[in-house]
Amino acid sequence: MFDAKAFSPFESLAAKLTFYATEGDDGSHDLAHILRVFRNAMRIHATEGGDGRILAAAVLLHDCVGVEKSSPLRSKASTLAAQKASGILERLGWAADEIAAVAHAITTHSFSANITPETLEAKILQDADRLDAIGMVGAARCFYIGGRMASGLYDPFDPAAERRPLDDRRYAIDHFQTKLFKLADGFQTAAGRALAAERDKRLRDFLTAFMDEI
């Protein structure tokens, strides 16, 4: 059951925007993901500052267009979401400069888009979203997405890819090396980097334990 209080102190904004927050049935980009990113963002915001209302709107709408990881449109997903979010906020009477600020944050949050965030709010959103891709939640999301893409867990004869190219479309565990372990080095804020270091260690410890078990 939806509880706007979970998005304190932006309950009224969440009540208006969560209807648009997700699209499709991707459990790695559902309302639980939005809430986790919101909490990450508010934690960073408390240290780094920035406009909380702009940031909250960007968090709530950053995944308002759903594009599967395997889609050729994946790199355009954040741009499409920014365009949709701009229309939503315009209908709600937001000022043009505020809409532009939210749209920029949404456009630049995506790893696939590879666009540098220029504002503090955009940097915080990117950090908050990437925090959800590492650590224990990141491991869970990796395997969930692998299942959606019909990937295997790992190559039973060469799980560490010592004698083959990494292929994260075929084996979910390969995604740790192709992407997840690279994320911690790219965080934009000091608060985000500190949180990322903790979660990156958890992710690496997880892979060590996983390899030991198999």
Q: What is the DSSP string of 11-70?
A: HHHHHHHGGGS--SS-TTSSHHHHHHHHHHHHHHHHHH---HHHHHHHHHHTTSS---TT
| CATH fold for the domain made of 1-129 | Hypothetical protein af1432 (1.10.3210)
8 A C-beta contact, residue 182 and residue 130: no
Q: What is the pTM of this model?
A: 0.93
Structure-model confidence comparison of residues 76 and 118, the more confident one: 118
| CATH fold for the domain made of 133-214 | Hypothetical protein af1432 (1.10.3210)
pLDDT band, residue 74 (cuts 50/70/90): low
For 33, 137, 213, the CA distances from 132, given in Å and listed in that order, are 8, 6, 25
pLDDT band, residue 124 (cuts 50/70/90): very high
Give strand pairing partners of 171.
152
pLDDT band, residue 66 (cuts 50/70/90): confident
Question: What is the rounded average pLDDT of the residues 47-72?
Answer: 88
Q: What's the pLDDT at 112?
A: 77
Does pLDDT of 6 surpass 70?
A: yes
Domain positions in the chain are 1-129, 133-214
> Do the domains 133-214 and 1-129 match in fold?
yes
Alpha carbon 126 to chain centroid distance? 7
Does pLDDT of 92 surpass 90?
A: yes
Q: What are phi and psi of 171, to 5 degrees?
A: -130, 120
Give strand pairing partners of 152.
171
